[in-house]
Every structure is written in structure tokens, then in C-alpha cells.
Structure 1
Amino acid sequence: MVPSLEMTSDMMIVFGFLIFVTILFVFEVVRVDMVGLLMMVLLPLSGVITGSQAISGLSSNAVVSIIAVIIIGDGLDKTGIMNIFARQIIKFAGKSEVRIMASIAGTAAFISSFMQNIGAAALFLPATNRICRQLNVPVSKILIPMGFCAVIGGCITLVGSSPLILLNDLMASWWSNNPSVVGDKTFEAFGLFSVTPIGIALVITAILYFIFFGKFILPEVTSRPGPVCLLNHDLECVYGEEIHNAYELNIPSGFQTKRLDELKIRPLYHSTVICICKHRKRDGRLKVYVPARSDIIEPGDTIGVISNGEHIKKLAQDMGWELCHELNKLNEIISPDNAGITEAIVRPRSELVGKTLHHVYFRKRYQVNPLALFKGDKVFYEDISETKIQTGDAFLLFGQWEKFHLLQQKKDFAFTEHIPGEIMHPEKAGFAIGSLVLALVLALGLNVQLSISLLAGAVSMILTRVLSIDEAYRGVDWMTVFLLAGLIPLGLAFEKTGAALYLSTSIANLMQGALTPLVLFLLIGFLTSFFTLVTSNVGATVLMIPLAMNMAVQCNADPRMAALLVAIAASNTFILPTHQVNALIMRPGGYKVIDYVRAGSGMTLLYIGVVMTIMYFFYGISG
């Protein structure tokens, strides 16, 4: 029998806060980061923790790690490394949503087996966003599976998650403090791969769970396949009759080679060829050009065209070209993540005033495509390259966002809206990879605290000028930071007041008479899973391992297996966005708390079921 505890007023206050937070989460009374801020204010006012403890979450290992790893991820993304990764995923998975999900989730789980799961998830976030935008796949269908598998991947090795890292130390401490219980039995520590069978089984189960049930449990996001719409509402009101979407056309073998200006595509069809994609005979790779009027269109080419539905069908029919129903070869090039349409107004002191676009070789010089000209109170689609440019003329331009940032530096145009994207720096890729390697070596090789290791990598990104410090600040998702920083003191209050110990011992004593080894392990699994939702996974582990080992001895079960179960069950945290990974993907995925409840409830039960099954048949927990 585990000694009973008495309920105190502080415990009652903490349980009240737990119910209060749950209501705020479920009914979404306020935004989730506001819940965190409320906890930082209300907990010290109630007296259950001190003011310094209430704000300690801001300097916690988890929060500092998230800030640092987001900066590292931004640096990798800015140098184009994540673009390369995204291309490989697309090449393997094609356009299958299921294969994309399985590829990303499986890779995240593998990386998470030797790197902290929050780091793995943060590094995959930019690439996942790029892949989803390029393939027109709702990111909400991918991020929860990726996040869940990143959490589960920490169970593949003994260094993949904080609870498993603590396991042997906590077991050794209990073993040395209970000599009368263990007798002459020698303590045996778990090895690096002792948990691997359980971790692999969990990852496979999670991926299969989302493959078969994803369409029912993941949030529906309106996303329609087909041409990519490139105009925002304001631009569509002015230019939208003729310019609306990007289309891909293939040039058949029977087409007679011609120069682009000979085809008269703009005057006849009010359409603009924005790129020509040719196969290089030497290596079979694609070479994409921003077309000039003298460029040739020949059989085997793929061209990108800005037009509307009526004009593009007529163009394809008259020319005998194949109109693709969706973007294939040009998917990455015309992806809204990489390129788009913006409006630019000619400045008074622009060197373009009095000249024509053709005269200054505009396309060749700036690598962007003029689509239309707004002059006076009229929109022109034809002969805009031969029209003399005047101050105040507005051009509608299509191009890569990076090219627009370079054009903006020329001071010839004033852009009417913020330009997405940024200038990529592939020449800095070596520094970015070096910064990541530095963080990994410090954390895994030299056993430096995770937050310090990741912070060293983030600082290295800034010192090597992969990112400026302002860009680093802008990249941090502060909603995630304050959500976690506010929930950490709630977990601290749960442990400090004894509320967690009271709840666990009360349940254990209630079931004392029915505790067979199998029932005991089920109870340990569910208790740990609950505590890891409302406290930190480390807190749940520290609390539950001594308790579980004591209960196992009383039931003639193996205390080592009880401790192992606690360390694994401490990663069973899917129902609420309280885990760092779940909080990280919440805003990028557009998730609500109910989405985690819907997807996480089944995953939680499956998690416990798989762990119990593997431990029963392969680890001998039956007694």
C-alpha cells in the first residue's frame, strides 16, 4: 500500500487551474498563447508558486531550445538546403498525399531518434511548408503526422527524448536507495538500443494510423487542385479579366520550331509566356529560362503561361499544344512559395522614364516578366514592351520573389505591397550546415545542455551572416514561445504542491486489490500519459519512475520494466498542444485544440496498446 496523502488548499487551487485551462483550450475562449500568459499572471497571484517560478518558463530549456532551433531552421531554409530536401521528397513521393505524409513523418521520426524531437520537427517545418505549397496539399494534413512521429521517434534510442535520457540515472538512484527491496540483485542499465523494437513499432503504427484514418481525423482545409491562382483580391479587381492563373503546356513533337515573337501569343491571346523549360541533352536535367522575344519554342519544350481559362484553351487548341490540368515540371518554379505577381509603380527619378522595356532589355536584365501596364485610367495588355515609360505607370510583373527583392534595391520601382520570400544565399550553405553540425556535436558528442548547444548553433548562424540578427528575431514564432512558457509553471505548480503525487497515489491505492502485473502496467501507462499532458515530460518521469518501481515490487513485477514503461509513456502526449512539438506546429498548421483531441485520442490509445503488446511479448512484463 502506497502511503496516502491529504488534500491541501494549494492542491485544490492547482486542480482548479487545470480545469480552467482545459476549458479555455477546449472552447477556445482566448487564443492559446493568451492561456500561457494568464497562467504566468494567475498562478503567482494565487500563491501556489512564486513570481520568479511563474516566469521561469521563459528561460526554460524547452523554450530556449525552440527559439534556437527555429533560427537554425530559418538559416538552413534561407541557404536553399531545405529546397534540396523538398525536391527529394517530391521526387520520391510524387503528388500522392499519403506518400508525402509517410515520407516526411518517417524521416522526422528517424532524425528524432538521435536528435531532440523539437529540433527534428523545427528543421522539417520549412521543407514541409514548401512541399505542401508546391503540390497544393493542405499543410494541415501533413504537420500533425510529422509532429506526432517526431515525438514518437524519440523512443527509438535511449538518447532520443529527455525521459529516456534520465531513465538509467533515476533507476540507479532508486536501486541504491532501496537495498532491502532489491536484495543482492545487481542493477542493469538499459542500452542505447534497448527500446528500439518499441520505438519502431510505434512509428509504423502511427504512419499506418494516419494512412487509414487521416482523412477522418485530420482537419479539412479547403484546397482545390488545378491551376495556381496568382492574383490577390485587389489586383484581381484591376487586372483580373485577362490575368488569373499559371498554366503549363507541353510542345508536341509535330510542332514547327518558331521564335516566340513569331507566335504573337500576347496580342492574339492576351497571355504571357513566363518561362521556357528545356531538357539538356548532356545530363537530361531541366533548364528554365525567362523568355526573350527572340527565344525559340521547339518540340519537347514545356512552357509556363499566365492567362485565364478561356484564352489558354484557345491558345492550346490553335497551337496544338498539350494543356496540363495541373503543374508538373514547373511546379516548383511557379509555386507561390517561390514566385508570384506583384504591382510596381515607376518612381519619378527612375532611369526607365522615357524609355521602353524593350529598349532596356527588361526581361533579360531583371529576370521578371511584365504582364500588363496600367497607364492613366486604362489597362494595356498588348505592346507594353514598346510603350514609353512615364512616372506613375504601374506594371504588373511576374517573377521569382528573389528577383523582385533585387529589383527593389534598384529604386526604379515602388512596390504596392510587401514582397514575400527573400534573397537566397546558397553560397552560405556551408556555414549553415556547419552551424547545425556544431549544435549536434555539442549536444550529442560533448553532452552540453541541449538549449546551450542549439543556441550555439543559432549564434553561429548569425555570426557567419547566414542570417542577420533582425531576421533571426523575426523568424521566431512568439505565440509558441509564450504558450509553452506559461504552461511550464502550471506543471511546476502541479509538482510543487504535491497535486501530482496525491492524484497518482490515490488512484494506485484505489486499485490496490486488483493490481496484477498486467493491470499495474496499464495503470502506470495511463497515469504517466496523463501527467505528461499537464506537466513536463521530465516532471512526469521524475515523479512516476520511483512510484512505478515501488508498485512493481509489491506486485512481484520487474521494477526495471515499470521504469522503462514510464520513460516511454512520457512521450505519449498528443491530445493537447502542451508538448513543445505540438505547440510548434499549431499555428503553421492552422490547428485548433479540438484537432489535437480528434487526432490525438486515437493515437494515445494506440500508443499504449502497442507499448503494452511489445512489452508483454518481448520484454516479459506479465510477471
Structure 2
Amino acid sequence: MLSLFILLFIVLCALVLFIGGWVPADVVGIMVLAALALTGLVSPEEAVAGFSSPAVITVLAMFVLSAGLTRTGVAYRIGQPLQLFARKGEAVLIVVLMAAAGILSALINTTTVAVILLPATMDLARRSGLPPARLLMPMALGCLLGGPFTGISTPPNILATDALRAAGLTTFKIFDFTPITGALVVAGIAFMVLLGKRLLPKGGTSGTRKNGIESAYEIGAHIFTIELPPASPLIGRNLAESRLGSALYLTVVGLHRAGELILSPRAQETLQAADIIIVHGQADQVSHFHGSRHLQVEPGGPETAEITRRLGAASVRIGKGSPLIARTLAESGLRRDHHVHVLALNSPTGECLGDFRRHRFEEGDGLVLQGEHQVLENLAEKGLVELGTPLADGSADAPGCELLSLCSVRVPEGSVLAGRNLVESRLGNAFGLTVVGLARDGKVDCLPAPEETIQAGDLLVVQGLARDIDVFEGLQDLEISEQSSRLAAELESQQIGMTEVLLSPRTTLAGKTLSDLLFRDHYGLSVLAVLRKGRACRTGLQDMPLQFGDALLVYGPRQSLEAVARDEDFLVLDQAAAKAPRLHKAPLATMIMVAVLLSAILGFVPIAIAALTGMAAMVVGGCLTMEEAYHSIEWKVIFLIAGMLPLGMAIENTGAAQMGAEALIGLVGDLGPRWVVAALFGVTVLGTQVIPTAALVVLMAPVALGAASALGISPQLLMMTVAMAASASFASPLSHPAHLLVMGPGGYKFMDYVKVGAPLTLVVMAVSVWLLPMLWPA
């Protein structure tokens, strides 16, 4: 009798600690193990037997198998149909997840279904913008509710059938469990949608890392969409030609096209009619430029004609001893000091250089210069260049270069450009346009100095390629169609990721700009923002010199993130985000998982051995590394299960479970079959929260069969009751591996399972007590 009181005291203390949450759950499990061994309720061998238990080994191996499916992209493909419901709302997601989990659990081991759906559910939570805690528990409950669908799908069903066979009674057929299980699944889903979701923890965001990035960079507030107008000049041009980045400081992170989402499109991706462009940046950059509020295109007038008459172009050569040698275009002062514009540059070998801003002039370089006729002659007289063949007046048609066009734009009152100089207007860097004339108060100035301040009412005559002028006009037609934080949840997939990158202590890149590094071209990644001194910068990133302590928010293919992680100049903060899926290993991972399932279902080997073999095959086959395998295991869960398993042995050894069951059945035996079903269900469901289901069915089967014989009640009715109750392990994380699998990723506490699982257990019990006597008349 003393052993019963000691056992009761240990159980009560454990429950208090679980509920209070003062001590981590895994530590409580180890404390229970130690208490049971020290009080002699279990032998030392029984106390540590949990660490070699098939249940513990199975859960451990399942974590690794799940990681293998995730790293090879199999889990993503399995869960891809679920992503169609990402924007349907929480209630719809709960219904879809629980229904999918229930159906799959009828065909596959319940724990395996949880393993397969875990990464898919996490991805669904991220895409829907919901915390994982709102979806992971419903998914696990769906697995448990659908588990008993067939006679071979769960251990309780198998053991209940064996108990009837051993007693010489009519056994259950394989689908005898389906009607009651189907009713319980429907009732469970209805409960979760109507009441259960209100009891779920609010949870945080979809991960600590993402929460940190979101709070630091406010990603959701800077993601919006732009819908191309039907006749936009941008249609048919690629993203690089659209100048969304250079002109509006926007980064195109995705395209919605014909119902398909294209993430991290290439710069060569051509825009099509009806495209919806997903961009990251400052929304006011679009609104400022929209509707010609700051620059108004006008038809060419007398000012344009005068500038065309006064300007000319000439082909020149840099001769020996020229002061321009070894200087860049900016250092040469050709525009600032001499009022000429370089239209084209050919190297001494005759090669036409496209981007010559960083080129240092060499002897023999050929230039095409534009300016007033007298100015061009003065350059030759000063020995800066050697004058070659004069070209036509006006817009030059330089050899090897495209025909340039002129366009007149007016600076209206209230324009943000008023008060800025020509350099600050960014017409050159942003649009590839050159201001070749400025008309103010009836006076026309050719090739004004870059420091010339723009005033309201000025007419600027700009020169550029015809397509650049079309783009300039097209950008003024753009407007924001949607701005929502939920858009940010769609930006990542198994192949596209986002993470923070720091300059490493050994970097040689400090002081250089992203433009100097050709970062996008070299790494294939977009820099969305730079975090400097706690402030996220989103504009002018290409020309911002990098400093120690800067954090770069980069976005693009995970393969490119892997390349950055290998570069000694950078430190990638989240290594998991920088891992590209091993898609070429997906067939092998699928074969391994199928082999594990079939060998267990067909009884070739125990599930623990099959899972361990599959785990080894995943590593040997290259689906994941051993380091990744170790990292994938939730060790807290392993220690929690191993620590609590001896408690079931102690209850068995002391006879506490059977004594309580027999006493309770004796109290209600005279009240009729429904009361007997209710009492048996209640005792069994309480036991299943702390005792392994297989052991519980073994304990309760003699009680149920004895009660059926003594009271003249159908033994099939009471054994079905035991099987259903043993599978109703909803109210404790210790009751089933599926709960333990989602405990860590969902951030659940012990009481979270009690809050949702206890009322769900009452619902399942009520439906069972109502339906079972009808399906199996006493």
C-alpha cells in the first residue's frame, strides 16, 4: 500500500511541475526517473530501459528521417497542395490540415504522418503569416483522430483484435473501426474550428530568426505589389531595362504571372502584360513619381530646336601626354569644367566599352564627345584630346552606339526635384538620361554643370536612348496595387531564401560599394537593406560604402547563399537558410522512406529497426550529413520520453491501474451499457495520458472482457471502447510521439496540451458513448 502512496506523490509532483512550467519538461522527466528508481518502484534496469525503448528509438530516427525528407525537398512536394490554402484563413487551414492528417493516418503510421506533415505545416504557417503554434497542434490532433481508421493502423486496434482472438471471441474486421473513427474525425475538426482554435496559444512568429529579421528590417511594411498598366512601355522589357531598381530604389523579389509565383526573378526576366510585380523598398518612391507630379513630359519646342542647333559631336582621341590619362570620367572634369559630354568610349584596340564610368583613360582611347562647337575645338587646342572627324549636329549617331533621342520635361511646382542639383536629381544614374539643356526665364543653357540647381518651372531637355525615354514615361504610370505584411510570407521557398550577412573580421571589402563589388552579378543575390547603427537603409545601397558592423539583408537562390557562406569576406548568420535542398537526392530519400514504411507495415522488421536502418541509409546515401542528423533530433523530447516511460512500469508493477479500473466498473455496472462504456472510456483515456497505449490496452483488456462476461454486455462493444479511448491521447505531450514532434517547433508548454486536449477528449468521449452502443449493440 505504501508503494501506491509513493507513486501517487511522485505523479502529483510531476503534474505540478509540468503545469507550473518552472522546470523544463525534459528535466521533470529525468527527475521522475530518478525518483522511481530511488524509491524502489522500478529496478535500476527498468529505470534506464526507456533509453533503449523502441518508442524512443523510433521517435529519434523519425526526426532524422523527417530531416532527410526536408533537405531533399520531398516534404515540400508532399505539402505543396496544402499551399493552395495559404490565404484561406485560419479556420480553413485547420480543417484542411486535420482532414489531410486524418486521411493519411488511415494509410500510414500516425507518427510517420506527423513527420511528413511537420515541415509542410511549418511552411504553410510561414506563407499564411500565422504562428506555427496555431497549426502544428491541430495537425498532430488530426493524426491522432484518424489513426484508428483500420484494424492495423494503430497498436491499440491490433491489440484489441488479438485480445478477442485469444479469448475465442469474434474478432474485428479491418474496416470495423472506420465508422466510429470517421465520426470522431468530423467531431474533432468541428470542435477545433468552433472552440479549439480559441484555446490554442497565440504563439510568436514563424521562428526566432525571422522574428529578429522582421523587427530589425520591418520587411512586411516594405513589401508591396505593382500591377503593370495594359499599355505600359515596360511590357516586353526585362527587369534590368525597367530601371525599377536604379530609378525607384526598388528590388523586384517576385512576379505573379498567370497564377504562378516566380520568386527572385533574374534581371533578364521579361515583363509581360498583366504581370503583378512584388517589390521591396520605400512605397513613397513610387507615389512621388506617379502621375507626373514631379516631372512632366512635354512635346519638343523652340528650346529643343535651339539646343539641337548649338550642340555638335566629334570623334576624338587621347594623345600622348594628355592630362586625361589615368583619370576616370568623374576625375577628368570633362562635364563639370569643360561642358562636354562623353557619348561613347572605344579602347585602343577598338573595343566599345559599355559602362566606362570606372575606366581610366589610356593613350589611344577613342571618345565621342558632345558639346558646343567652339568648346570642342578648345579641348583640342588645350591638348586634352586630338580632334578627329566632326559628326553631325544635334543628337549624335556615334559609331558602335545606338541612336540618341531628345525629350523635354518640365519641373512643376511642388516637385521634389526643386532645390536639388542635377546630380541629386539622379536622371543620369537612375534613367541613363543626360541633361543637355536647361531653359529658364527665356534663357537656354547647353550642357549645364552638374552642380546646377533645379528650380520649379525649369524645362529640362534630356538626351538618351529612345527605350530609356520610354521607360522614364512608363515608370510615371506605375502605382501600388497592394501593400500587406502577408506578402512577405510568400517570399521564401525550398530554393529561395533570405538571411543576414555580416562583413567578417578578415574582410577586405570595407570602404567598397556594392556597385564596386558587382554584388548582384557576382553572387546572384539582391541586397534588400543594409542595417547600420540600428537603422535599416533601403535607398542608394549600390553607392553606399560598406563599413564594419554593417548587416546586409540578402535575398535570392539558396545556392547563391551557400556561395556567400563559403566566402571569407562574409559571415552568414543563419546557416540553415543558406542550405540549398539536395533535389537530386529526392528519389533516394523517397525510396528509403517507402522502404521503412512497407517493412514496418508488412511486419518484416519492428518499426524501430526499420526507422534506424532508414536513418543510416539517409546519411550514407548523402541525403543529409551526420551533423545535420544530430542537429535535427529534438533531444529534449528524447529525454522526456525516456524519463517518463518508467512511470508506466511503476503503475503496472503496483497494480494501480487495474485496481482503479475494476473499482470504477463495479460502481457503474448496474447502470446499463452506456454507463459502463463511459466509465471504461474514462479510465482508459486517463491512463493513456501517462501510460504507453500498448501497455494500457494490455492492462484494460482483461478488465473489459471480464466486465462484458459478468454484465452480459457485448465484448466487442467494450473492446472497441478500450481501443478508441487508448487512441484518444490528446491532453498530454507525453501521450503520443506526434505531440512530442510538434512541441519544440510550436513552442508549446504542458498546459497548452491540457487546455485543448481535455475538452477535445470530452467531445470524443461523448460521441463514442453515444455511437458505440448503436454500432455494437449490447
TM-score normalised per structure 2: 0.69
1:303 pairs with 243, 257, 277, which one?
Answer: 277
Other-structure match for 2:646: 489
Cα 1:288–1:532 change in 2 (3 A) is closer
Give the letter aligned to residue 324 of structure 1: E
Deviation of 1:418 after TM superposition, in Å, equals 3.1
Query: Which residue does the alignment assign to 2:23?
Result: 30
Distance of aligned partners of 1:163 and 1:394 in 2 relative to their CA distance in 1, 3 Å threshold: same
Q: Answer yes or no: is 1:345 the counterpart of 2:528.
A: no
2:69 pairs with 1:76: yes
1:262 deviates by 6.3
Q: Partner residue of 1:399?
A: 555
Distance 2:740 2:62 in 1: 14
Out of 501, 507, 523, the position equivalent to 2:679 is 523
Which residue number corresponds to residue 250 of structure 1? 227
Structure 1 residue 275 and structure 2 residue 253: aligned?
Answer: yes
The reply on whether 1:163 has 2:156 as its aligned counterpart is yes
Question: How far 1:218 sits from its partner (Å)?
Answer: 1.6
- Is residue 2:200 matched to residue 1:218? yes
Residues 331, 510 of structure 1: CA spacing in aligned structure 2 closer, same or farther, 3 A cutoff?
Answer: closer
Deviations 1:284-332 (A, max 9, x none): 755445443x765554233232224554654677543333233788853
Q: What's the CA shift for 1:441? A: 1.2
- Structure number having the greater helix percentage: 1
Instruction: String of CA shifts for 1:213-271, please: whole Å, max 9, x gaps.
Output: 134222223669xxx988366x55xxx7x9963333332324221665666545665x3
Letter matched to residue 109 of structure 2:
Q
Amino acid across the alignment from 1:583? L
Distance 1:298 1:315, change over 3 A: farther
Instruction: Decide whether aligned partners of structure 1 residues 447 and 196 sit closer, same or farther in structure 2, where only a CA change above 3 A counts.
Output: farther
Residue 611 of structure 1: how far off its partner (Å): 1.7
What percent identity do the matched residue pairs reach? Answer: 24
Q: How far apart in 1 are the matches of 2:188 and 2:738?
A: 16
CA contact (8 A) 2:254 2:265 kept: yes
Residue identity opposite 1:617 in structure 2: M
Question: How do 1:45-124 and structure 2 match up within 5 A?
Answer: 45-92=38-85, 94-124=87-117
Distance 1:124 1:375 in 2: 39
In 2, distance between residues paired with 1:112 and 1:549?
28
Shift in alpha-carbon separation, 1:386–1:326, aligned structure 2, 3 A? closer
Q: Distance in 2 between matches of 1:573 and 1:489?
A: 18
**Does structure 2 conserve the Cα–Cα contact (< 8 Å) formed by 1:174 and 1:546?**
no
Moved more, 330-339 or 31-40: 330-339
Contact 2:73–2:582 at 8 Å: present in 1 too?
A: yes
Q: 2:122 aligns with which of 126, 129, 140?
A: 129
Deviations 1:326-354 (A, max 9, x none): 3788853347995224133167576x799
* Structure 1: stretches of 5+ with no match in the other structure: 1-7, 176-186
**1:274–1:290 CA contact under 8 A, matched in 2:** yes
- What are the superposed Cα offsets for residues 364-408 of structure 1, whole Å, 9 maximum, x if unpaired? 442211345689999976655467x78959462421472454223
Cα distance change on mapping 1:356 and 1:519 into 2, 3 Å: closer
2:175 to 167, 179, 193: 193
Matched, 1:333 2:491: yes
Q: Aligned equivalents of 2:500 and 2:117: distance in 1?
A: 29
Equivalent position amino acid for 2:95 in 1: A
After TM superposition, the structure 1 = structure 2 runs for residues 371-390 of structure 1, keeping only pairs within 5 Å, are 371=528, 384-385=541-542
Deviations 1:439-481 (A, max 9, x none): 0111012342111122222221111110111111110111111
1:573–1:253 CA distance, 2 compared to 1 (3 A)? same
Counterpart residue type for residue 553 of structure 1: S
The change in CA–CA distance for 1:329 and 1:394 in structure 2 (over 3 A counts) is closer
Say whether residues 1:436 and 2:413 are aligned partners. Answer: no
- Matches of 1:589 and 1:479, distance apart in 2: 14
Q: Which amino acid aligns with 1:124?
A: L
- Letter matched to residue 498 of structure 2: G
Q: How does 1:134-153 map to 2 (within 5 A)?
A: 134-153=127-146
User: Does structure 2 conserve the Cα–Cα contact (< 8 Å) formed by 1:15 and 1:499?
Assistant: no
Q: Distance in 1 between matches of 2:176 and 2:269?
A: 62
Change in CA separation of 1:522 and 1:146 when aligned onto 2, cut-off 3 Å:
same
2:88 and 2:546 map into 1 onto residues whose CA distance is 45
| SS of aligned partner of 1:300 | coil
Query: Which has the larger Rg?
Result: 2
AA at the equivalent of 2:718: A
Closer, same or farther: CA 152–319 of 1 in aligned 2, 3 Å = same
Which position in structure 2 is the counterpart of 1:44?
37
1:419 counterpart letter in structure 2: Q
Q: Residues 12 and 404 (structure 1 numbering): CA distance in 2 closer, same or farther, change over 3 Å?
A: farther
Distance 1:47 1:348, change over 3 A: closer
Query: Greater shift after overlay, 339-348 or 484-493?
Result: 339-348
CA distance in 1, matches of 2:531, 2:698: 67
1:355 Cα deviation after fit: 7.8
Please give the alpha-carbon distance, in whole angstroms, between the structure 2 residues aligned to 1:600 and 1:420. 33
**Are 2:348 and 1:366 equivalent residues in the alignment?**
no
User: SS at 2:624's partner residue?
Assistant: coil
Structure-2 separation of matches of 1:506 and 1:300: 73
Between stretches 245-254 and 488-497, larger displacement belongs to 245-254
Residue 415, structure 1, aligned to residue 393, structure 2: no
Distance in 2 (CA, whole Å) between partners of 1:297 and 1:35 is 59
Paired residue for 2:391? Answer: none
- Cα distance in structure 1, aligned partners of 2:69 and 2:541: 40
Query: Residue type of the partner of 1:72?
Result: L
Structure 2 gap segments, 5+ residues each: 292-475
Question: Which residue does 1:547 correspond to in 2?
Answer: 703
- Structure 1 counterpart of 2:280, which letter? I
Q: Deviations over 1:602-623 (max 9, x none)?
A: 2111111222222122221xx3
Separation in structure 2 between the aligned mates of residue 349 and residue 140 of structure 1, nearest angstrom: 40
* 1:274 and 1:303 in contact (8 A); partners too: yes
In 1, Cα distance between equivalents of 2:290 and 2:485: 15
CA deviation vs aligned residue, 1:417-436 (integer Å, no higher than 9, x gap): 23332221111000110110
Instruction: Tell me if structure 1 keeps the 8 A contact 2:147–2:154.
Output: yes
Quote the residue 1:179 is aligned against.
Answer: none
**What residue identity is the alignment partner of 2:759?**
G
**Contact between 2:86 and 2:128, CA under 8 Å: does it hold in 1?**
no
Q: Distance in 1 between matches of 2:615 and 2:492?
A: 31
The equivalent position to 1:209 in structure 2, one of 191, 213, 237, is: 191
Contact preservation (8 Å) 1:428, 1:466: yes
Is 1:230–1:336's contact at 8 Å kept on the other side of the alignment? no
Offset, 1:53: 0.8
Deviates more, 1:309-318 or 1:538-547: 309-318
Give 1:107 shift: 1.3
